[in-house]
Chain A
Amino acid sequence: MGNARLWGLKKSPWVFHLAAAPCNNCDIEILDLITPRWDVERFGIVLVGSPRHADALLVTGVINRKTLPRVLRVYEQTPKPCLVIAIGTCACSQNIFTPSYNVVGPYDKHMPVDVYIPGCPPKPESMIMGIVKALKRL
């Protein structure tokens, strides 16, 4: 039972793209992943439109006071088990926005983060590598 569950999760991680106030740079790089050049559908990764269908949340951007409740709500709406993958330096460590009055800290202060993929924006190759590492660790 546990093995089957793990195999299913590893072979078909559906991702929901949760953009919490990013500058859109990481988001465009995420969309590169489903283009012919990188084609992550080879690994069963599909972008889905609803957090209810998702197995992994791709979070981008800095959380601020406005987006924090929304991000937490989407995290609660996602059926467990679910991975959280922080993409970009903003999501990992707030980047240049650290001294801002409106930021409430990086993602791992509010929810368990499984993978950090730094870069501004990270390359699609590094994103694939991060996701593969996360799936191997399961």
Chain B
Amino acid sequence: MNIVRILFSYVIFPGFIFTAVVGLFLTWIDRKVTARIHWRVGPPWFQPYADFLKLLLKETIIPEGSSKTLFLLGPLLGLIGMSIFAVMLFNMNFNPSGSFVGDLIVIIYLLALPPIGIIIGGSASKNPLASVGASREMTQYFAYELPFLIALVSIIIKAGGSVKFGEIILAQQAQGPFLYSISGVIAGVVIFLCIQAKLSFVPFDIPEAEQEIMAGPYIEYSGVTLAIYKMTRAMMLLLLPLFLISVLWGGFANWWAILKLLLIVVLIILVKNTNPRLRIDQALKFFWIGIGALSIIGLVLAFYGL
């Protein structure tokens, strides 16, 4: 019985299928809003599902000379990481005082899985553009991870030194969301920009820059493997804003959370559509010097309880 429940939660409800369906819907919102900004009509609502179905039923090619195991492992890593992350996030929000121990450190590792999968897959696919994309992905990961971690540390300080996800949410329910303070706003801005980079959306879409290296690490992927990559990205588009809401905006166990989620997603899309792409060295400087300094200021403010 218990095993059935665990399987259900990993595969169907908060886990894989639910997040994938909602995430694909959010990618439709992304494409539609982008189209409206361009003054176009945009695709119909079932477009991401049609894309996904088509990719699932197409031929999958494994390039000659590539490392077969790693090439196929790459897409799966990110998918597994995101499914587990979804289960933890939902469990912690709807049952914050339960016995399920999930802490921020595990979540940091789970969030590292999709970029690792992209790096492995890109390097295994024996294509020069894919290797360039993989190396850029690696650099960018190191760039945004530093301010992201510092912002999370300031959140831990605000929650009274607890790294447990449930306690962070309980602390917010007791004393109001962390976002309504100076250090909270700073942490929110930092995490928002890191989400933009984690999703590789436009100012930070350096790893897969379409105009210079085609699709970067994804260039050799076709059929099912490409579908899995697309779905992992869709799930991240749902889960990362939810993560931001649950660590800073008081959790998402109420109906307001849908509005908050849509607000954050539309903000991400607006930033995506109104910015040019940075070079990889500019992105590194931006994250380590600019945003890094901002996040340290936030950390100090959080330390003094502001």
Mark A residues whose CB is within 8 Å of B: 1, 4-5, 7-9, 11-12, 14, 36, 39, 41-42, 44, 48-50, 52-53, 55, 77, 79-81
Taking a contact as CB atoms closer than 8 A, the residue among A5, A12, A49, A77 that contacts B51 in the complex is A12
Cβ contacts under 8 Å, A9 to chain B: 54
CA–CA, A44 to B41, complex, Å?
Answer: 11
Known: A12-B47, A79-B61. A41 touches B35 (CB 8 A): yes
Known: A12-B47, A44-B47, A80-B59. A55 touches B38 (CB 8 A): no
Q: Given A41-B40, A50-B214, A79-B61, list of 11 further CB < 8 A pairs?
A: A8-B50, A8-B54, A14-B51, A36-B38, A42-B41, A44-B51, A50-B219, A52-B61, A55-B54, A55-B58, A79-B58
Cβ contacts under 8 Å, B161 to chain A: none
Q: Interface residue count for B (Cβ, 8 Å)?
A: 32
Known: A52-B221, A79-B223. A39 touches B61 (CB 8 A): no
Query: Can you show 19 pairs from A to B with CB atoms below 8 A apart?
Result: A1-B57, A4-B57, A8-B51, A8-B55, A12-B47, A39-B35, A41-B40, A42-B40, A42-B42, A44-B51, A48-B215, A49-B215, A50-B214, A50-B220, A52-B226, A53-B215, A77-B61, A79-B222, A80-B58
**Taking chain B's interface residues, is the majority helix, strand, or loop, or is none over half, making it mixed?**
loop
CA–CA, A1 to B53, complex, Å?
Answer: 10
Cβ contacts under 8 Å, A14 to chain B: 51
Cβ contacts under 8 Å, B214 to chain A: 49-50
**A134 CB → nearest B CB, Å:** 15
**A35 CB → nearest B CB, Å:** 8
- Nearest A residue to B220 via CB reads A52
Counting CB contacts under 8 A, is B218 at the interface? Answer: yes
Q: Are B222 and A53 in touch, CB under 8 angstroms?
A: yes
User: Which 10 residue pairs across A and B have the least CB separation, nearest first?
Assistant: A8-B54, A49-B214, A11-B50, A79-B59, A8-B53, A52-B222, A39-B40, A5-B57, A79-B222, A12-B50
**B59 CB → nearest A CB, Å:** 4
Query: B219-236 interface mask toward A, CB cutoff 8 Å, 1 = contact, 0 = none?
Result: 111110010000000000
CA–CA, A41 to B221, complex, Å?
Answer: 22
CA–CA, A89 to B151, complex, Å?
Answer: 59
Query: B23-52 interface mask toward A, CB cutoff 8 Å, 1 = contact, 0 = none?
Result: 000000001000100111111101100110
Cβ contacts under 8 Å, A7 to chain B: 50, 53
Q: Are A8 and B57 in touch, CB under 8 angstroms?
A: yes
**B44 CB → nearest A CB, Å:** 8
